[in-house]
Structure 1
Amino acid sequence: MKKKEILFLWDGENFNPNGDMLRENAPRIDDETNIAEVTDVRIKRTIRDEIMKKDERRIFIKEYKKTLRDEKNNTTKDVVLDCKQAIKEVGIDVNKSKGEIVNEILSRFIDIRAFGGVLPISEKQKSKKKGKDDDGSLADEKESGANVTSVTFTGPVQFRMSKSLHRVQLKQIKGTGAFASSYSETDVKLQKEQATFREEDFLSYAMFATYGIFDNNNAKNTNFSEDDAREILSALWNGTKNLITRSKMGQTPRFMLIITYKDDTFAGDLNNSISLKSAKSDEAIRNINDYTIDFSNLNAKLQRYAQNIEKIEYVSDFDFEKNNKAGFGESWQKIGL
C-alpha cells in the first residue's frame, strides 16, 4: 500500500456524535473553544461496525460473551470475556509458535491489520518439577514457566481527534420515562413522585473534519493492502451514514479527499488547512446550506507537494458538491466508495 492521507467531512443535526462518559454521556466539547470533538476510537468503531454487518468474523475487537451455567442453582448468566479468552473463542491455537499466531491474526482480522493493537495471548504458565542438586540427589520442587506472551501490532491507519469546523450549540432535552423507577402500592403521593425523569444533551448541528493517515511502512508489517485501504475508506463513508441509532441518526458523510503519494512524503495537518465560511454566527448554523468550505489554503499546500503526489481522489454527496465544487482542485478525480 502506498502512503495516503484523507480528509473526511461529515455532519449531523440534533445528534450526539460521541458521548463523554465522564459527563453523563453529553457530547464532547472543548471547554475553551466550544468546538465539538470526536475521538479516534469512535471513528474506528464506526468502521468496525460497518464491516461486521457483512461478516463479523473479520473483526477482532468487539464484545465477546459466553453463557455460563450454574448447575447448583440451575441458572445461567452471560459473562464478557477478556482478550486472552477471546483469542481462544475465535479458534486460535495459543500453543502454536508466536510467528504462526501473528500470521493467523493478521490474515483473519482486518481491524488488526488496519489499527493494530496489543493482544495478550496466554497467561503465565507455571509448572513444578523435581530438580537435582549438584551431588545428584533429588532437590525440592523448582518452579519454571514462561512469561506472559503477547503480540503487538502498530497499525498503519490512524486518525486524529475529529473537531467541528465551528463553535457548536448544545441543546438539552428533558422528558419522563414510561415506567417508574420503583413503585409504592399504598402511598398515592409517592406514586406521583416515582416517575423517572431523563435529560439528554444534543448538538443542534455540527460539521466535523476527520484527518487520517495510512502509513505505507507500518502497512508492510501488518500486510495491510490497497484493497484493505479501500474497504476501510468505504466502511468509514457508509458506516457514518448507517449508524441508525437514536443519538446518531441523521449523520451524513459529505466529502472525502484521498491523497496517494509516490514516496514517504506527505503534507500533513489537512483538517487545519480548510475553514468554514458563513454569514451566520457559528452557533446559528443549522444545515449544510448555511455555509461553504474554503479550500484555498489546502489547495496551496497540496500544490507545494505536487511532485510527491501520485493522485488526488474525492467522494462527495450531491449537496456538498453543489455548494463547494468551485473550490475543488482541478486535478481532483471523483470516485465512488
Structure 2
Amino acid sequence: MKKKEILFLWDGENFNPNGDMLRENAPRIDDETNIAEVTDVRIKRTIRDEIMKKDESIIFVKEYRSGENILDCKSAVREVINIKQEKAQIERDILSKFIDIRAFGGVLPISDKDEMKKDKDIKTAGVQFTGAVQFRMSRSLHRVQTQHIKGTGAFASGNDKGAKTFREEDFLSYAMFATYGIFDNNNAKNTNFSEDDAREILSALWNGTKNLITRSKMGQTPRFMLIITYKDDTFAGDLNNSISLKSAKSDEAIRNINDYTIDFSNLNAKLQRYAQNIEKIEYVSDFDFEKNNKAGFGESWQKIGL
C-alpha cells in the first residue's frame, strides 16, 4: 500500500456523536473553545461495526461470549487462534484473519508466566502490532450549541408505582466534523495491510457513518472525503487545520449544510507545494456538499465512489 492521507467531513443534527462517560454521556466538547470532539476510538468502532455487517469473522475487536459470560481478550484470542505455535506463526495467523488488526494494530495478551511454566507448548506471552491506519481526534469546524432535554419514561420508578421514570440527555444542535487520518505505508508492510484493505476501511468509514441508525446518532451524514495517495514517504500533514468554515451566521446558530461553505484555499495551496510527491488526489462527495462547495475543489481532484 502507498502512503495516503484522508480528510473526511461529516455532520449531524440533534445528535450525540460521541458521549463522554465522565460527563454522564454528554457530547464531548472542549471547555476552552466550545468545539465538539470525537475520539479516534469512536471512528474505529464505526468502521468495525460496518465491516461486521458483511463479515463478522474478519474483525477481532468485538464481543466474545461463553454462555452468559463475556470473555476477556486473552480468552478471546484462544477462540480464534492456536496459541501453541511459535510467536511468528501466531502473528501471521492473526494478521491474515483480522482486517482491524492489520489496520489499527493492537496489544493482544496470549498467556502468563505461570501458565507457560506448566505448559511448555505455550511459548508466547503476547503479541503487539502497530497499525497502518491512525486517526487524529476529530473536531467540529465551528463552535457548537448543546441542548439539554428532559423527558418521562413509560414505566414506573422503583417502588413508587405512581411516578414514571425521568430521563435527561444532551445533544448537539448541529455539528460539521473534520476527521484526519494517515495510512502509513511502512506500518502497512509490517501488518500486510493492502490497497484492498485500505479501500475496505474507507468504504466502511463513509457508509458506516451514515448507517449508525441509533437514537443518538441517526442522521449522521458523510459529506466529503479527500484521499491523497503519495509516490513516496512525503505527506502534507494537518489537513483538517488547512480548511475553514465560512458562514454569515454565528457558529452556534448553524443548523444545516446550507448555512455555510468550506474554504479549501489553504488546503489547495498546501497540496500544490507537494504536487511532485503526489500520485493522485481522489474525492467522494454527497450531492448537497458538492453543489455548495464544488467551486473550491482542486482541478486535479478525481471523483470516485465508495
TM-score range, shorter chain: over 0.9
Q: What is the deviation of 1:177?
A: 1.0
Q: Classify 1:3/1:195 alpha carbon distance in 2 versus 1 (closer, same or farther; 3 Å).
A: same
Q: Note if contact 2:228-2:278 (Cα within 8 Å) is conserved in structure 1.
A: yes
Matching of residue 225 in structure 1 with residue 194 in structure 2: yes
Q: Distance in 1 between matches of 2:269 and 2:47?
A: 31
Q: Distance in 1 between matches of 2:122 and 2:180?
A: 42
Alignment partner, residue 87 of structure 2: 98
Q: Distance in 2 between matches of 1:315 and 1:296?
A: 18
Q: Distance in 1 between matches of 2:195 and 2:261?
A: 32
Residues 237-259 of structure 1: CA distance to partner in whole angstroms, max 9, x if unpaired?
A: 00000000000000000000000
Q: Note if contact 1:114-1:155 (Cα within 8 Å) is conserved in structure 2.
A: yes
Q: Note if contact 2:87-2:124 (Cα within 8 Å) is conserved in structure 1.
A: no
Q: Which amino acid aligns with 2:19?
A: G
Residues 17-44 of structure 1: CA distance to partner in whole angstroms, max 9, x if unpaired?
A: 0000000000000000000000000000
Q: Note if contact 1:35-1:166 (Cα within 8 Å) is conserved in structure 2.
A: yes
Alignment partner, residue 76 of structure 2: 86
Report the secondary structure of 2:110's partner residue: strand
Q: Distance in 2 between matches of 1:317 and 1:191?
A: 50
Q: Which amino acid aligns with 1:171?
A: Q
Percent identity among equivalent residues? Answer: 85
The two structures have a TM-score, normalised by structure 2, of 0.97
Query: Map of 1:145-164 to 2, 5 A cutoff?
Result: 149-164=125-140
Q: Which amino acid aligns with 2:156?
A: A
Report the secondary structure of 1:199's partner residue: strand
Greater Cα radius of gyration, structure 1 or 2: 1
Report the secondary structure of 1:122's partner residue: coil
Q: Note if contact 2:147-2:170 (Cα within 8 Å) is conserved in structure 1.
A: yes
Q: Which amino acid aligns with 1:113?
A: R
Residues 142-194 of structure 1: CA distance to partner in whole angstroms, max 9, x if unpaired?
A: xx9988611000001000000000000000111011112213xxxxxx543x4
Report the secondary structure of 1:303's partner residue: helix
The two structures have a TM-score, normalised by structure 1, of 0.88
Q: Distance in 1 between matches of 2:82 and 2:281?
A: 43
Q: What is the deviation of 1:195?
A: 2.0
Alignment partner, residue 55 of structure 1: 55
Aligned match of 2:225 in 235, 240, 256?
Answer: 256
Alignment partner, residue 289 of structure 1: 258
Q: Distance in 1 between matches of 2:268 and 2:156?
A: 57
**Runs of 5+ consecutive residues of structure 1 not aligned to the other structure:** 68-77, 129-143, 184-189
Q: Distance in 2 between matches of 1:45 and 1:35?
A: 22
Alignment partner, residue 70 of structure 1: none
**Aligned pair count?**
305
Q: Which amino acid aligns with 2:181?
A: G
Q: Note if contact 1:127-1:145 (Cα within 8 Å) is conserved in structure 2.
A: no
Q: Distance in 1 between matches of 2:93 and 2:266?
A: 44
Question: Over aligned residue pairs, what C-alpha RMSD do you find?
Answer: 1.5
**Runs of 5+ consecutive residues of structure 2 not aligned to the other structure:** none
Residues 202-229 of structure 1: CA distance to partner in whole angstroms, max 9, x if unpaired?
A: 0000000000000000000000000000
Q: Distance in 1 between matches of 2:204 and 2:270?
A: 28
Q: Distance in 1 between matches of 2:157 and 2:84?
A: 50
Q: Note if contact 2:86-2:123 (Cα within 8 Å) is conserved in structure 1.
A: no
Q: Classify 1:196/1:165 alpha carbon distance in 2 versus 1 (closer, same or farther; 3 Å).
A: same
